[in-house]
Amino acid sequence: MAARTERAAIAVLTGLSSVDVPVASAVMTTATPRRFTVIDFRALWSLGIERRGYYSMTFYLGYLEACRGIASDAAVDLRTLDGALWKYSDANQRVGS
């Protein structure tokens, strides 16, 4: 939680057995919601990214930076943006896509 960089925070968690980037992003979002956001297929789909499975550290950090930019432009916090992306996907994404 005291890591100075996002990369360091996620790296420490992904160094644990069975913890991958999405789980690490969820842990860090719970601990510091103003600094992190969760990466998942629904939010990615809402942003036009059809990707599931493995998410690298580099991919997550790019996603986090993009989300910060979108949240800033929309004058909302990361949690509000995450909720909006999830809700949009839930309302519009076809099952299995």
What is the count of structural domains for the chain? 1
Q: Read off the pLDDT of residues 74-83 as tens digits, 9 standing for 90 and up.
A: 999 999 999 9
> pTM, whole model, 2 decimals?
0.88
Closest to 70 in 3D by CA, of 53, 87, 46: 46
In a domain, 15, yes or no: yes
In a domain, 46, yes or no: yes
Q: How confident is the model at residue 97 (pLDDT cuts 50, 70, 90)?
A: low
**Amino acid identity at 25:** S
**Tokens 């943006």 map to which residue?**
81
Q: Read off the pLDDT of residues 47-83 as tens digits, 9 standing for 90 and up.
A: 999 877 789 999 999 999 999 999 999 999 999 999 9
Work out the percent of the chain whose per-residue pLDDT is above 70.
96
In a domain, 78, yes or no: yes
In a domain, 70, yes or no: yes
In a domain, 30, yes or no: yes
Burial class (CB in 10 A: 0-12, 13-18, 19+), 77: middle
In a domain, 1, yes or no: no
In a domain, 97, yes or no: no
Domain that holds residue 55: 6-91
